Structure formats: structure tokens, C-alpha cells
Amino acid sequence: MQNDGSGRIVVQGLSKTFGPVAAVQNLSFVVEPGAVTGFLGPNGAGKTTTLRMILGLVTPTAGVATISGLRYDQLGYPARIVGAVLENEGFHPKRTARNHLRIYAAAIGMPDQRADEVLALVGLTTAANRKPGEFSLGMRQRLALATALLGNPQVLVLDEPANGLDPEGILWLRNFLRAYAREGRTVLVSSHLLSEVEQTIDQVVIISHGVTRYFGSLEQLRAGQQSRVLVQAADPNALVKALQEAGFTQLETTPDGRVAVLGATREQIGDLTAKAGLAVYGMEEDRADLEKLFFQLTNGGYSAAQYQPQQQQYPPPPAGGWGPPPAPPQAGYPPQQPYQTPPGGYQQPGPYQGWGGQR
Ligand SMILES: Nc1ncnc2c1ncn2[C@@H]1O[C@H](COP(=O)(O)OP(=O)(O)OP(=O)(O)O)[C@@H](O)[C@H]1O
Ligand SMILES: [Mg+2]
């Protein structure tokens, strides 16, 4: 069999059970090159398990995942074709970022200088001689991405890459991934939050409880959402009455006193209010609420039960009361330790430029 060179990821009837847990059930989808595809689902939905199967790290119970027409283990130089960042990447804490990258570069037959190239790509040039053990979460994410980029791969698979990134880092990642995909490469990123990746992705695969719920373009998903018009009226009650009489029944009053009308255009409402002689101060079309739809599609996953105050069900206090309140903290708590200057004194901060990376 031959690598078809497409960079396309095909997942067909993929299933994985861990003992009694059906982590992934009969998943099928295609990830095309030239776009950023979001792989979305709530915690425990099976995202990491699926990505690990795509990357040959977990053996599927059934089904197959291929990249460019081949299973991962059939790809000749996988790291030169697929770059991946999975959860909980470990780094040698005492090795500098540059040395870490050089070791990985050597392992896949890339020259030393590639280490500095990928450090620059992810905005870590100024941290090249520092050790990942002293990196922040966001910096470690960047180093993991740099490692994945070493082989200049055609396909990039990232598990929750936005975790730990600050808003600037998220913006940088978004621009980076979009530019990478624009070069005709395949980018698959998982997230449990639609809002986190909404502006990054073009295509979306939504799973929940190991099952595919939606697979297609984000635009189509949005278009399928009914929009609503928010109307600010002088007399909301009269407006509701007039709308109901005209056959618009899906009405709601928003907390700020506006009337939300589903299934009507602004023109229809404008004509209707003009005819009824009702004063309208403003109208606004409400953007489709994707997050709500995502929630419906995924059914919340491991969503917590709503908190219900149930004081009345607690047992009554014992005869004689609850006893004395706990003793106050002893004097001297919290321990007062004299602040010590580290040996050698404090370092002057260097010309820190932030982790903005290339733009
Ligand atoms: N090695 C394993 N052994 C047993 N169960 C596992 C194993 N790996 C995953 N699971 C189970 O499979 C299900 C899916 O887990 P997975 O990590 O794929 O979800 P996820 O979508 O990545 O979640 P998150 O958003 O929290 O990262 C969970 O119920 C999990 O407990
Ligand atoms: Mg996961």
C-alpha cells in the first residue's frame, strides 16, 4: 500500500472499549487538508482515545483510522508526516528547551538547526536555554507544539492545545493554525469548549459519549440555527399580544425587558408594529447561539446536577446542640517565616518580550 500524499485523516467505524467502558463507539469522519477541523466533545467524550487511535498509540477494538490512506504504523517516517501533541506531555525537567528539541530532531533525522526554527515558530526563542521544569503551563504547551513541528509535518494533531494559554497565546495559536492549514496541510484540534476554538476552525466533528453527533462545516451548523429578533417596545405586553394574534407564538421576554421573537424577520415585525400603531425603540437580530446548540448535541456529557438547596432535609441538631465551635487557630498560624533573599540575590529581569511568537 502507498501513502496517497493527501494528508487526509479517515476514521471509519472506530470503537474502543476499556473493560466495561465504551470509550468510543463506531466513530466515522473525515478530516480534509487545507482546513482547521475542531474535534469537540465534553470531558470523557472519547476525544483523546480517538486521537491516540489515529496516532497508533491505542489499538482499536474495531474499525480503522488512516492518514494519507495508511494506518499510522504503516507510515514510513510518521514524525515527518504527522506531528502530534497529546495530553500530559512530559519533558525532561533539567534539559534546556533547545536540547530537548535537538534530541527529538536527531531521532527523526532532522538537523540541529531545526530546533531553533521551531522555537522561533512558537515564540520561545528567548527561552531556548531555559528548562521546561521551570516553564509555565502555556510555555510547556508551546514547547510541545514546537516538538510536533520538528518534522515539518503535513498533518498536525493537537489535543486541547489552548489549555493553559493566555488570551494572547490563544490568538497567536489561532493565527498559526489557520496559516498552517492555508498551506494545504491538515490540522485537527480537540477541545471541550466550542467557544475556545470557534474562531479557529472551519470544520467540526462533535462527539458525545463516544458517538458522532455532528460532522461538517461550522458554517452549516450555524446556518441550521434559527435566529431570533429582539424587540424593544414602548409597551411589551401590547407587542406580545399583537405578535400572537399575527401567529407568532415563539415569544420570550428577556431579562432587560425586550421581546425575543423566534421565526420572524425584522421586516415582518416592523410592518406588524406599524400597522398596530405600536412604538418600537429598537430591533436587533440575535446571532445563533452555537454554544447552546453544542450543549444540546452533546447533552452536557459529565454535567453536574443542578444544586438544589435542601436545608430542610438535614437532621435536626442533637439534643444539647452541635457542641462548641472549633477552636480558633492557634497563635502563630499561619507560620511567619522571615523572607529570605535567594543566594546570589535577585536576578534583574531580562528584556522579556512576552510569548507572542511570530505573527
Ligand atoms: N486507558 C484507559 N483505561 C480505562 N478507561 C479509559 C482509558 N482511557 C480512557 N478511558 C475512558 O474512556 C472514556 C473517554 O476518555 P477520553 O480521555 O478519550 O475522553 P476525552 O474526550 O479526551 O475527555 P477530556 O475532555 O476530559 O480530555 C472515559 O470514560 C475514560 O475514563
Ligand atoms: Mg482528552
Handedness of CA 158, 162, 165, 170 (dihedral sign): positive
Stronger pLDDT, 248 or 291, i.e. the higher one: 248
- 228-288: CATH number: 3.30.70.100
Q: Do domains 9-223 and 228-288 have the same CATH topology?
A: no
pLDDT tens sequence across 19-54? 999 999 999 999 999 999 999 998 889 999 999 999
pLDDT tens string 270-303: 999 999 999 999 999 876 667 777 877 877 544 4
Residue with more model confidence, 2 or 47 = 47
- For residue 47, report the distance from its CA to the centre of ligand 2, in Å: 5
CB 210 within 8 A of CB 27: yes
Mean pLDDT of the chain: 83
| Contact predicate 51/86, CB 8 Å | yes
Tell me the pLDDT band of 18, cut-offs 50, 70 and 90. Answer: very high
Q: What is the pTM of this model?
A: 0.73
- Of 196, 185, 197, 99, give the one whose Cα is nearest residue 149: 185
Best mutation site among 15, 43, 48 for ligand 1, i.e. most ligand atoms within 8 A of its Cβ?
48
Cα–Cα distance measured from residue 78 to residue 60, given in angstroms and rounded to the nearest whole number: 19
What are the residue boundaries of the structural domains of the chain, listed by start?
A: 9-223, 228-288
CB atoms within 10 A of CB 132: 20
> Which band of pLDDT confidence, cut at 50, 70 and 90, is reported for residue 169?
confident
Local structure of residue 316 (DSSP, 8 states): P
Q: Is the CB of 44 under 6 A from ligand 1?
A: yes
Q: Quick count: other Cβ atoms within 10 Å of Cβ 230?
A: 16
Class of domain 9-223: alpha beta
Q: For ligand 1, atom 4, which residue shows the shortest CA distance?
A: 18
Q: Sorting pLDDT into bands at 50, 70 and 90, what band is 353? A: very low
187 or 290, greater pLDDT? 187
The pLDDT tens digits of the residues spanning 321-344 come to: 555 544 444 443 333 333 333 344
